[in-house]
Amino acid sequence: MSEQTEKVVVKALVTGGSASGGPPIGPAVGPTEINIKDVIDKINEETQMFKGLSVPVRIICDPETKQFEIFIETPSTASLLMKELGASQGSSNCIEEKIGDLTLEQIKSVVEAKKDTFLEKTYKAAVKSVLGTALSVGATVEGEDPRTIQQRIDNGEYDEQLEEDL
């Protein structure tokens, strides 16, 4: 009976589109003798759409076959909203200090990016969840407080725009 080497799982937080062979990836993948440049190139290719954002990645390395698999997690909802706003950080006082205004389309775009991770059962509930995060980072939506938009969703005002499935 031959002994099988165990796969090595590396979890890291990388900047979308610009991971490097330095820590944490290089030192963790290096001992597996898998080509680090190949791993980094694949990560950068798969995280390009999240350029500039912190993206959680999981790399499963098989030291025996020298093969690897990359799993890209979605950045946080707040990070995606900040990218939509073009802001580097959220408001320190989100009730009084607003950092930007989002459109409902931008909210829906974030829902799309995160749809595999939502616990909410409906698209409307997911949109309302993202609106809650928009409130906490200090954004308005369509020029209004996100809670107002949430209330309008509850009242059925956006039913046509939010008919999609998660």
Which range among 3-7, 62-66, 76-80, 138-142 shows the weakest confidence by mean pLDDT? 3-7
Give the confidence band of 19 by pLDDT, cuts at 50, 70, 90: very high
Residues 11 and 57 sit within 8 Å (Cβ to Cβ): yes
pLDDT tops 80 at residue 125: yes
Report the alpha-carbon distance of residue 138 to residue 96 in Å, rounded: 8
Q: How far is CA 160 from the centre of its chain?
A: 27
93-106: per-residue pLDDT in tens?
Answer: 888 889 999 999 99
Whether residue 147 is contained in a domain is answered as yes
Q: What pLDDT does residue 78 have?
A: 92
Of 57, 72, 87, at which residue does a domain stop?
72
Whether residue 166 is contained in a domain is answered as no
One domain for residues 50 and 100: no
Please give the residue range of the domain that contains residue 82: 77-154
Report the alpha-carbon distance of residue 38 to residue 68 in Å, rounded: 9
Looking at the structure of the chain, the number of domains it has is 2
One domain for residues 51 and 112: no
Whether residue 165 is contained in a domain is answered as no
Whether residue 140 is contained in a domain is answered as yes
Whether residue 36 is contained in a domain is answered as yes
Of 23, 55, 72, at which residue does a domain stop?
72
Tokens of 46: 């798969």
Q: What pLDDT does residue 1 have?
A: 44
Q: What pLDDT does residue 165 have?
A: 64
Which range among 55-69, 111-125, 136-150 shows the weakest confidence by mean pLDDT? 111-125
One domain for residues 52 and 84: no
Of 26, 44, 72, at which residue does a domain stop?
72
One domain for residues 95 and 32: no
Report the alpha-carbon distance of residue 94 to residue 87 in Å, rounded: 14
Report the alpha-carbon distance of residue 72 to residue 56 in Å, rounded: 6
Give the confidence band of 143 by pLDDT, cuts at 50, 70, 90: very high
Report the alpha-carbon distance of residue 118 to residue 109 in Å, rounded: 14
Q: What pLDDT does residue 53 have?
A: 87
One domain for residues 89 and 35: no
Residues 70 and 43 sit within 8 Å (Cβ to Cβ): yes
Whether residue 43 is contained in a domain is answered as yes
